[in-house]
Amino acid sequence: MSEKIFTVRLAEAENAVEILDQTLLPNCIQYLRLETAEQLYEAIFELRVRGAPAIGVCAGYGMYVLAQKITGEFLPEFHRLGEYLISSRPTAVNLSHAVERMISCAEQNSSDPEQLLSALKAECTAICDEDKAMCRAISEYGLTLVKDGDGILTHCNAGALAAVEYGTGLGTLLLGKERGYNFHVFSDETRPLLQGARLTSFELNHAGIDVTLICDSAASMLMKQGKIQACFVGCDRVAANGDTANKIGTRSVAVNAKYHGIPFYVFCPSSTIDFSCNSGEDIVIEERSGEEIKSKFFAQPVAEPEVKCYNPAFDVTDAELITAIVTERGIARYPYTKSLKELFGG
């Protein structure tokens, strides 16, 4: 991808968060300035910034920007703003983690107004720097699981567009390209919001990686034909038992991969692992408007107005369907109640 393209950053004047509006890709590259809580909420909810790591970085920067605007009693208002941002997308744990880190930082430094903003700036910068380092480490571990020439199936988008650099699920492919690997990637379109078609295909194509866009429903056939050697996905939350919430359709990929004996790898930073969540049954699944199914990317609606829709944004992939969870600290394997604790001490 061109170095001129960035996902999220703090404005030079530190009075706004600047993001790439991913709802306009691949046809238009446009950046937005987010200066208010309402603008930050809308950008996260409407997926202008998306991907768990990028959302976390955006939230960290956003809380710093909002902190500078508070004129009354600081901590109560800072808590209120944090809760408001978290409500924009409750499934993505990076969002709540970033907000909670900023609130904790504020509480620890609230007695010194001059130190407060400096500490918050350092904290949101650390959230971004940690994401960069984590994605690089995840990508390094991922390269140990594949070989040159492998066919890789992706679902949704978990590359640099979903983070700050490299990303999680696509990071291995991008790093491998830099080192001379030649992967053949099959990108699920990922209905209904088409993150695979609009984002993954865009990102890999610009990186010079061989990518073929497919309908979600074609993945099983490609597996049977022997064209897929591994499946790569990111995630928005991992429960303590290894159940994983990711974009709707991920579980179907995992079930098909299990049937065909193909490894199914989940890539995630430690910030996505929620040890307070016992299993996938405890993960809140965001439901979105049916218009995303019926009309969002169509010139005319494809179903009648009175037709009901069920549009969950995520599904939960059972831990036993996951071959390995790749993190910045190493590779965890089933049973994850043991391996994740060994890596992270949860």
The answer to whether residue 2 scores a pLDDT higher than 70 is no
CATH of the domain at 177: 3.40.50.10470
Give mean pLDDT, residues 278-300.
Answer: 96
Q: What is the largest CA-CA distance in the chain?
A: 64
- pLDDT 10s digits, 17-51: 999 999 999 999 999 999 999 999 999 999 999 98
Residues 160 and 219 both lie in one domain:
yes
Point out the least confidently predicted range of 172-181, 266-275, 306-315: 266-275
The pLDDT score that the predictor gives to residue 91 is: 77
316 belongs to a structural domain: yes
Starting at the edge strand found earlier in the chain, the sheet holding 17-20 runs 8-10, 17-20, 31-34
- pLDDT 10s digits, 127-138: 999 999 999 999
Give mean pLDDT, residues 172-187.
Answer: 97
- pLDDT 10s digits, 53-110: 899 999 999 999 999 999 989 999 999 999 999 999 987 788 999 999 999 999 999 9
3 belongs to a structural domain: no
Q: Would you tell me how many other CB atoms lie within 10 Å of the CB of residue 157?
A: 32
Residues 131 and 180 both lie in one domain:
no
pLDDT band for position 1 (cuts 50, 70, 90): very low
* Predicted structure pTM score: 0.86
Residues 153 and 131 both lie in one domain:
no
Cα–Cα dist 103/110, whole Å: 10
Residues 108 and 53 both lie in one domain:
yes
- pLDDT 10s digits, 317-341: 999 999 999 999 999 999 999 999 9
- pLDDT 10s digits, 128-165: 999 999 999 999 999 999 999 999 999 999 999 999 98
Domain holding 150, by residue range, is: 141-344
The residues near 241 (Cβ < 8 Å, ≥ 6 apart) are: 278, 279, 280, 319, 335, 336, 337
243 is catalytic: no
The answer to whether residue 299 scores a pLDDT higher than 60 is yes
Cα–Cα dist 37/65, whole Å: 9
CA atoms within 13 A on the CB side of 274: 27
- Counted domains in the chain: 2
Report the share of the chain in percent with pLDDT over 90.
92
Give mean pLDDT, residues 210-215.
Answer: 98
Residues 75 and 198 both lie in one domain:
no
**Helix count and strand count (H, E) for the chain:** 12, 14
Lookup: tokens for 131:
């994401």
Residues 62 and 193 both lie in one domain:
no
pLDDT band for position 4 (cuts 50, 70, 90): low
Average pLDDT, the chain: 95
The pLDDT score that the predictor gives to residue 346 is: 58
CATH of the domain at 68: 1.20.120.420
Report the share of the chain in percent with pLDDT over 70.
99
Choice among 112, 129, 216, 236 that is catalytic: 236
